[in-house]
Amino acid sequence: MTKARTRIAARKIAVSHPPIIAELANAKGALAEKIGALGSDRESRFEEAEAAVQSLEDVIERGETAAEKDPKYKKELAAATKSLGAERAKKKLELAALEERSKLEEAAKAAREAVDPIEEDSQAGAISAAETAIGALESALDGVVNKKALTKNIATEKKALATLVGRRVEDARREDLRVQESRRPVRLSKARLSTTATWPPKTPWPRTRPSSSRATKRSTRRSLSLRTPRPRKRSRRRRPAAPSLRPSRTRRTPSPPSRV
């Protein structure tokens, strides 16, 4: 019997206050939609969310009289009031995240603008300016309070930061070191020339060959032989001896006596 009376009373309230119940449902749906759209970078989204919060507050105030007679509506009204506080906190967090997101974007833009000229100019001033801008971006990334709301932005900026450091700054620094290494021998030779000579010298003077050395004579002789032809040497081969008119002194053997 008690349940039947409660249902009858709730039905009377629903019939007598249909706009308030519909407005509460519509206000809750609109607020959830506006809070969900706060992830974009448009400030007008926050104005729309604030208007939805105010509309839900008005509906809750006007439905308090109906909640006193209908326990079900009273429960829905309490849930709406609780969700209103949570949505307000979320809106505040998203607003702070929007400010931090804008700071991150400004720091990333400054870092890119500082690193871009390094491709054409590898001077130490440009490199130090790029390092300063990159340090500012790193500090901005470390100082983010709403890391959960800016997880995607932080990951994107960190990836871009690693690309900037690895591809441009380090290459420019390596090129600058290479140029300095190529200029180092010239600076050393100038420093050696600028030093004053001391006497006696610390190191012995190098010994020079005299002009009358064997190598000089050999080169002189070779140059003279190329200019003037050498006289032809006479052959030392013996000529055949002429026949002699003297009788030969060869000893003849006596012939044996003949027998008669």
pLDDT in tens, 88-104: 666 666 666 666 777 77
The verdict on residue 24 lying in a domain is yes
The verdict on residue 246 lying in a domain is no
232: pLDDT strictly greater than 60:
yes
Lookup: tokens for 134: 């990159």
Does residue 118 sit in the same domain as residue 84? no
Would you place residue 170 in the very low, low, confident or very high pLDDT band (cuts 50, 70, 90)? low
Would you place residue 223 in the very low, low, confident or very high pLDDT band (cuts 50, 70, 90)? low
The verdict on residue 62 lying in a domain is yes
44: pLDDT strictly greater than 60:
no
Can you point out the beta strands (E) in the chain?
none
Alpha-carbon gap, residue 185 to 175, rounded angstroms: 17
Report the pLDDT averaged over residues 150-158: 67
Which domain-ending residue is among 69, 97, 125?
A: 97
Quote the DSSP letter at residue 120: T
Does residue 83 sit in the same domain as residue 18? yes
Query: Among candidates 169, 167, 175, 177, which has minimal Cα distance to 129?
Result: 169
Would you place residue 185 in the very low, low, confident or very high pLDDT band (cuts 50, 70, 90)? low
Does residue 142 sit in the same domain as residue 179? yes
Query: Counting beta carbons within 10 angstroms of the beta carbon of residue 59, is it exposed (0 to 12), middle (13 to 18) or buried (19 or more)?
Result: buried
Which domain-ending residue is among 145, 174, 191?
A: 191
Does residue 130 sit in the same domain as residue 184? yes
HSE, CB side, 13 Å, CA atoms: give it for residue 195.
9
Lookup: tokens for 240: 């055949």
Q: What is the pLDDT of residue 156?
A: 72
Lookup: tokens for 10: 């709730």
197: pLDDT strictly greater than 60:
no
Q: How many domains does the chain have?
A: 2
Tell me the percentage of the chain whose pLDDT exceeds 70.
Answer: 12
Query: Counting beta carbons within 10 angstroms of the beta carbon of residue 222, is it exposed (0 to 12), middle (13 to 18) or buried (19 or more)?
Result: exposed
The per-residue DSSP string of 139-184 comes to HHHHT-S-TTTTHHHHHHHHHHHHHHIIIIIHHHHHHHHHHHHHHH
Does residue 10 sit in the same domain as residue 88? yes
The verdict on residue 251 lying in a domain is no
State the CB neighbour count (10 A cutoff) for residue 186.
9
The verdict on residue 77 lying in a domain is yes
Report the pLDDT averaged over residues 185-214: 53
Lookup: tokens for 198: 């001391």
Tell me the percentage of the chain whose pLDDT exceeds 90.
Answer: 0
Range of the domain at 159: 113-191
The verdict on residue 59 lying in a domain is yes
Which domain-ending residue is among 97, 129, 150?
A: 97
245: pLDDT strictly greater than 70:
no
Does residue 92 sit in the same domain as residue 6? yes
Query: Among candidates 18, 89, 93, 83, which has minimal Cα distance to 57?
Result: 83
The verdict on residue 128 lying in a domain is yes
The verdict on residue 71 lying in a domain is yes
- Do residues 139 and 158 make contact, with C-beta atoms less than 8 angstroms apart? no
